Amino acid sequence: MDFTRIIEQKDKLQTPLFYYDLEILKATLDAASKEATKYGYHVHYALKANANHKILEIIKNAGFGADCVSGNEVLRAVEVGFKKEDIVFAGVGKTDKEINDALDADIFCFNIESIEELNVINELAVTKGKTARIALRINPNVNANTHHYITTGLDENKFGINLWELEHLLTVLGKCENIELTGIHFHIGSQINDLSAFKSLCLRVNTIQEWFINHNLIIPHINVGGGLGVDYYKPDENLIPDFETFFAIFKEHLDLRPHQQLHFELGRSLVAQCGTLFTRVLYVKKGIKSNFMIVDAGMTELIRPALYQSYHKVENITPHEGTEKYDVVGPICESSDSFGKAVTMPTTKRGDLIAIRTTAAYGEVMASQYNLRDKAAVLYSDEL
Ligand code: LLP
């Protein structure tokens, strides 16, 4: 990533700072769109990864739909101008208000996660005299081989309807007059780099699809969720994820019936690499075995390392001679407030600007005000 303009202005920049490179965002969207369009696939962007207006606007203009997991995300998607027929709404715990808001917005589809939720959506739709289009989120019991906190498609996870409940669900569905079943939905997890997990998902979906056909049901759309991982270790070598291989797996292994549409919900892979969290060095504490580089960003801006032990590349972009090893830590009163242990970096001084890479997905959106911290500043590349 080219930080020339940032380096030129480094002394003026307010930190911590979420910086978004819009050219990288657009190039990533172009690549994803090109590969998905080859097969007529529909991609909904998962707002949970980053819901900034400017970023959403660009994603909407690139032709993507929206995948929402709260009423406020649905309202945000509508406000930004995503077409209502491109908005899906998932989540295990939708409140009545959220369901009503989505019914009013006339969205494409509710991804429903339990039989009880199905009944509630039906009742609320009856009250409004509307029909709710739904997809059944089915738990496929496929292992995504990713961190257990971001694994969602196993029997033990809270998400989706288990396969053994489907028979009963169809009976309930038969009694829900204001519900139209339009899809089946799956999502096995996030930050998936072992792409064979997606092949396993396809094979499982094929079997589940057979089950529906045996029950005389052809489902108009299949939604296989998101989850494609990004390269946190070598961001510059792999700025754009391998969408070509990703979509080709579905083309090769998923048996679509005539006129059946395939939908995706990609979050991280569309945005992660366009963001960098810039932080300034407050103090360097020399130690015997290790040095502490204390920076002004913490787990309040980027919680991923503390929550998932995840790696983000940390770089000192202020040129200096020599190298040393540092534990890069934030100012928050928690020992888990750390961005890296024994990281080799140019010899660092107070005031240096540090880049924490690959932070546009699940960075700013997961920020908190713990310790009564201020919100971090935001800067887009077209404002430099
Ligand atoms: N669809 C559903 C139903 C999901 O639950 C998720 C993510 C996505 C789509 C988008 O997945 P993606 O393409 O971004 O992997 N905070 C965690 C990630 C949580 C993901 C939750 N669900 C992290 O920072 O790694």
Tokens of 29: 């969207």
| pLDDT, mean over the chain | 95
Assess contact for 105 and 80: CB atoms under 8 A: no
Over 80: is that where the pLDDT of 148 sits? no
Determine phi and psi for 259, rounding to 5 degrees: 70, 0
Q: How far apart are CA 323 and CA 255, in angstroms?
A: 54
- The single residue listed with the structure tokens 């009742």 is 123
Assess contact for 47 and 77: CB atoms under 8 A: yes
CA 251-228-133 angle, 5° bins:
70
Q: How far apart are CA 253 and CA 247, in angstroms?
A: 10
Q: Is the CB of 362 under 6 A from ligand 1?
A: yes
Q: How far apart are CA 126 and CA 330, in angstroms?
A: 52
Q: How far apart are CA 38 and CA 115, in angstroms?
A: 36
Over 70: is that where the pLDDT of 153 sits? no
Over range 279-305, report the average pLDDT.
94
Pocket test for ligand 1, best of 64, 190, 224 (most atoms within 8 A of CB): 190
Torsional sign, CA 101, 104, 108, 111: positive
Domain ranges in the chain with CATH number 3.20.20.10: 22-271
Assess contact for 106 and 84: CB atoms under 8 A: yes
Q: Which CATH fold would you assign to the domain 4-17+273-383?
A: Lyase, Ornithine Decarboxylase; Chain A, domain 1 (2.40.37)
Tell me, in angstroms, the distance from the centre of ligand 1 to residue 282's CA: 33
Domain ranges in the chain with CATH number 2.40.37.10: 4-17+273-383
In the prediction, which pLDDT does 264 show?
A: 98
Nearest CA to ligand 1 atom 7: 190
Q: Report the nearest atom of ligand 1 relative to the CA of 152.
A: 5
Q: How far apart are CA 297 and CA 378, in angstroms?
A: 13
Assess contact for 378 and 38: CB atoms under 8 A: no
CA 377-379-384 angle, 5° bins:
135
Q: Which of 355, 363, 273 is nearest to 314 (CA)?
A: 355
Give me the amino acid identity at 34.
Answer: K
Q: Which CATH fold would you assign to the domain 22-271?
A: TIM Barrel (3.20.20)
- Count of residues in the chain: 384
Q: Is the CB of 90 under 6 A from ligand 1?
A: yes
Tell me, in angstroms, the distance from the centre of ligand 1 to residue 251's CA: 22
Confidence of residue 143 (pLDDT cuts 50, 70, 90): confident
Determine phi and psi for 121, rounding to 5 degrees: -60, -40
Tell me, in angstroms, the distance from the centre of ligand 1 to residue 228's CA: 9
pTM exceeding the 0.85 threshold for the entire prediction:
yes
Q: How far apart are CA 52 and CA 80, in angstroms?
A: 10
pLDDT in tens, 3-60: 999 999 999 999 999 999 999 999 999 999 999 999 999 999 999 999 999 999 999 9
pLDDT in tens, 304-338: 999 999 999 999 998 788 999 999 999 999 999 99
Tell me, in angstroms, the distance from the centre of ligand 1 to residue 26's CA: 21
- The single residue listed with the structure tokens 């290790």 is 290
Pocket test for ligand 1, best of 47, 48, 149 (most atoms within 8 A of CB): 48
Q: How far apart are CA 163 and CA 161, in angstroms?
A: 7
Tokens of 286: 């020399």
Assess contact for 107 and 84: CB atoms under 8 A: yes
Assess contact for 276 and 16: CB atoms under 8 A: no
Q: Which of 265, 228, 263, 222 is nearest to 246 (CA)?
A: 228
pLDDT in tens, 343-377: 999 999 999 999 999 999 999 999 999 999 999 99
